[in-house]
Amino acid sequence: MDAIPARLDVARIRQDFPILGTQVRGRPLVFLDSGASAQKPRAVIEAMTRCMETAYANVHRGAYHLSEVATANFEAAREAAQRFLGAATPEEIVFTRNSTEAFNLVAHSFGRALLKRGQVVLVSEMEHHANLVPWQMLRDAGLGIGLRFIRVTDAGELDLDDYARHLAQGDVGLVSVTHMSNVLGTVTPAARIARMAHEAGARVMFDGSQAAVHRAVDVRAIDADFYAFTGHKLYGPTGIGVLYGKRELLDAMPPFQGGGDMIETVTLEHSTWAAPPARFEPGTPAIIEAAGLLAAIEYVNAIGMEAIEAHERALVEHASATLAQVPGLTLLGAAQDRGGVFAFSLDVAHPHDLSTFLDRRGICVRAGRHCAEPLHARFGLEGGTSRASFGLYTTPEEIDALAEALVAARKFFA
């Protein structure tokens, strides 16, 4: 069994997550679906409860002490997200509902206002639907904006030669790709992708929904123009996500939605817009969720992203070796740099049937196409795959339990 780095005490960490001590169908819970949504530590649960019990009021508006406290706490979450991503100022951090809304915001605002007729958005074959469908909608809006796709190699890596060929055509206005695939686990070379895009005169956006959970991210170091991640995968609550955007781009972009708190002035005939990020945050925001996000960021920071990454690398090595020994199991993707996401197929069972079998043993995995239908089609797996994804609380013993259950499933279905 691969050794877990001493810096990360997994047994101690698991005590912070109340749900991990529960049982499923009379068996200990083995939660291997953190890539879809991670479990929550007590620090997050208690922070949200504390917000509701002691410091809740609407933010940015009330001229009374409780509202001032709530506003300060809300903006503290923005500052934490800024530091977490390495952004220059809090004004470059926009709160969204999730990564999906972040992509829709950029597609609607940047895409419609700043991309020019004849320009192209470039995405890859491995994208989550959240980083595909908004660009399809932009392409179909009659604005003369195209959409092209970077190939993925048989190993599940971004084909950088194909990427360079697209850029060489001179019409790419925006590159939008994942920083870590939610199916293949592939970690893309973000800094190189950004450098190539900028040399070709294009802007670049990254889907950090998976990467921000598993790797330290510095948006200035990789020179991202936009970067998105979602709170619920980072051990925080649902309903809040983060969009980073370079200040000069946010300043040039029109609002995505209209309403209260995103305006500077309003008359019956005309409105003017507030400066970013308020311009992109209309209405009452996710106040309680922001408290949870702040607690989640503080929680992972206290553990340390270096320790989390080292832990995950050990898990990936262990899973690669262990799952490869399961008869009839095919792992999807073999990237040189990958995170803790493993999609696989078993020769005798449909992914949904296999998921049901595993659930009866208390093992939670994902089944289907994981909001990445084109990627599954690329590998001839239109029927989908099963997927095990890890969190900072995952143990080698849980991976062993999965492997043992897969062997049993093959005997059962055969």
| Residue 187 near residue 141, CB atoms below 8 Å | no
Torsion-angle region of 328 (φ positive above 0: left; ψ -120 to 50: alpha; else: beta): left
Q: What does DSSP say about strands 329-331 and 341-346: parallel, antiparallel, or unpaired? A: antiparallel
CB 273 within 8 A of CB 262: yes
E-state strands within 73-197: 93-96, 120-124, 146-150, 172-178
Respond yes or no: is residue 364 known to be catalytic.
Answer: no
C-alpha–C-alpha distance, residues 412 and 406, integer Å: 10
> Is the distance from CB of 131 to CB of 211 less than 8 angstroms?
no
255-277 as b/e, with b when 16 or more CB fall inside 10 Å? Answer: bbeeeebbbeeeeeeeeebbebb
Active-site choice (371, 378, 381, 404): 371
Other beta carbons within 10 Å of 30: 24
Sheet strand arrangement including 241-245: 93-96, 241-245, 226-230, 203-207, 172-178, 120-124, 146-150
Q: Is 25 helix (H, G, I), strand (E, B) or coil?
A: coil
- Cβ distance 32 to 361 under 8 Å? no
- Collapsing DSSP states into helix, strand and coil, what is residue 173? strand
3-state secondary structure 67-89: HHHHHHHHHHHHHHHHHHHCCCC
**Rounded distance, CA 239 to CA 292, Å?**
10
Residue 174, phi-psi category: left (phi > 0), alpha (psi -120 to 50), beta (remainder): beta
> Which residues does the annotation mark as catalytic?
371
